[in-house]
Amino acid sequence: MTQGKSPASMKPLRGAAKSAAAARARAEAVFERLAAALPEPKTELEYTNPFTLLVAVVLSAQATDAGVNKATRPLFALAETPAKMAALGEAGLTDRIKTIGLYRNKAKNVIALSQALIREHGSEVPHDRDALEALPGVGRKTANVVLNVAFGERTLAVDTHVFRVSNRIPLAPGKTPREVEDGLLKVIPERFMSHAHHWLILHGRYTCMARAPACGRCVVNDLCAWEGKTAAKPPPPPSRAKPRNPAEPTA
């Protein structure tokens, strides 16, 4: 009797298919650990609505979230809409964000994007990637953050922390942020996509740091293949309370 061919699903994986399967399995294991350690990760930027989130993300380029929050607390109390922000003018906004790096260019972009929102979108932040990226000062990373945080899209913003963590473990190694983003989208299980970039950002910010990674307290240490891992266990990171959205009622 002639033996029938084995179904494709029963054939052993080889080459690229085997590597892809291994990458997906590693990503699933990594995100299971990160999710267990921090079930509800949040952006550390403070905001009150989609517009103030958009402005905060634009201001955060090459700046720390803490530094941005310090400047935007009084700013957003005064100008939480495109019309109010535009009314400040470039000079008025520049004076209020001087503590943030590249503040002159950022002030120019924020005023211009506020005017564009008024003129082209009825003062609303568009729920559309192309429309967001057409705004002054808004690139793919910023659009991804706004789509994810403000609108619940399963997008993934690749900043310096996500780029570092993804290449170290590795999850989706790449030479550019877009290569890493595309690679991560292929290996991260759908159930983790809503919070994926927050888990990676916070892991890179507080554990997998650039210069002194805290490998001794890393929850994915045994899943990481990075050759530069350290053995010492440093003190725990500072407490990270959930940043308060000023729009939320206080107890």
Catalytic residues, which ones? Answer: 141, 159
How far is it, in rounded angstroms, from Cα 26 to Cα 170? 9
HSE, CB side, 13 Å, CA atoms: give it for residue 30. 27
Closest CA to 145 of 33, 16, 242, 59: 59
The answer to whether 177 and 13 are in contact (CB under 8 A) is: no
Q: What is the dihedral of CA 237, 239, 245, 248, to 10 degrees?
A: 150
**Whether the bond into 170 is cis, omega within 30 of 0:** yes
Name residue 150's amino acid.
A
The residue type found at 178 is: R
Q: What distance in Å separates the CA atoms of residue 83 and residue 70, rounded to the nearest whole number?
A: 22
